Amino acid sequence: MSVQHKTHSFFTVLALSCLFSPFAASDNKHVGLKAPLPSISTQSSLKRNQSAESGVIELRGGNFIKPFQTQISPLPTLHKTKPYQHLISEAALKWNIEQSLIYAVMHVESYFNPTAVSSAQALGLMQVTENGAVLEFSKRFLGGKTLAREQVFVPRTNIDIGTAYLYLLDATYLSQIRSPKTRLIATIAAYNCGLTNLMKYTFDTKSLDYFVYRVNQTTTEEWREMLTQQFPIAETRAYVAKVLEKKAHYQQLIH
């Protein structure tokens, strides 16, 4: 089968299947935490509130939680997704991130709108911020070269920055989380609310080591429930659930 025919088939299936997979409305109600997950030993040498000098950075900038679209069309039509397929494939290979995750994040963040701007000034397809992900990307991978605002909207650049952020979360900050599935859920949550907020509102800690230790004491199902049902930030609860749902959907279509 030719590459052109395979590409056409992929997006044909994508358009048809999404017709029968409507998005549930997001949960915007604030609910309190349920009973805590099983506690860890109090004899741990890790201190919950040890200094935050663990190298954690906020790639989205500050502690402001960037809102994502709460009303998302269930049908990513061919003209919306096709221009970015090769860019997503390149970024996935470059940063060792699953294509399905990039598609899912882009779907939930901007619904494939390259000119999207949020109220928090998150920009483009992957909704990256100039004083967060863009700045960190520049320092780490561009030798400090400044990117103009209009450059951040360029699809290739925007996808590269957003995917690099996912890579840094997965392969650097959260790399010691043993379960890949658990680490994936943590990565998605941190992409939305920031790693510092994730540590604060799960285990009330500034220590990345302590946070990872606690996460490793939970099962994947416990962790998923904690972040989609018990986490005190409704925005992040809805975000994690939607991205996981869409990732599974795109995974089936890609493979």
- Report whether 70 contacts 239 (CB < 8 A): no
Q: What is the DSSP letter of 117?
A: B
Per the prediction, the chain carries an average pLDDT of 80
User: Tell me: the pLDDT tens digits for 16-45?
Assistant: 344 333 333 333 333 333 333 433 333 333
Q: How many domains does the chain have?
A: 1
Between these two residues, 29 and 96, which has the higher pLDDT value? 96
Residue 64: both structure tokens together: 């402001």
Residue 191: domain span: 3-254
Q: How far apart are CA 237 and CA 56, in angstroms?
A: 22
Element at 86 (helix H, strand E): helix 85-95
DSSP conformation class of 255: -
Does the structure show a pLDDT above 80 at 61?
no
pLDDT at 228 over 70: yes
pLDDT at 74 over 70: no
State how far the Cα of 251 lies from the Cα of 255, in Å rounded to an integer.
6
CATH number at residue 193: 1.10.530.10
pTM of the model: 0.75
Given 3-state DSSP classes, what are the helix, strand and coil percentages for the chain, each rounded to the nearest 5?
55, 0, 40
Q: Of the candidates 21, 15, 162, which has an alpha carbon nearest to the alpha carbon of residue 82? A: 15
Q: Which pLDDT belongs to residue 75?
A: 52
- Please give the Cα distance from 63 to 97 (Å, whole number): 25
Which is higher by pLDDT, 10 or 102? 102
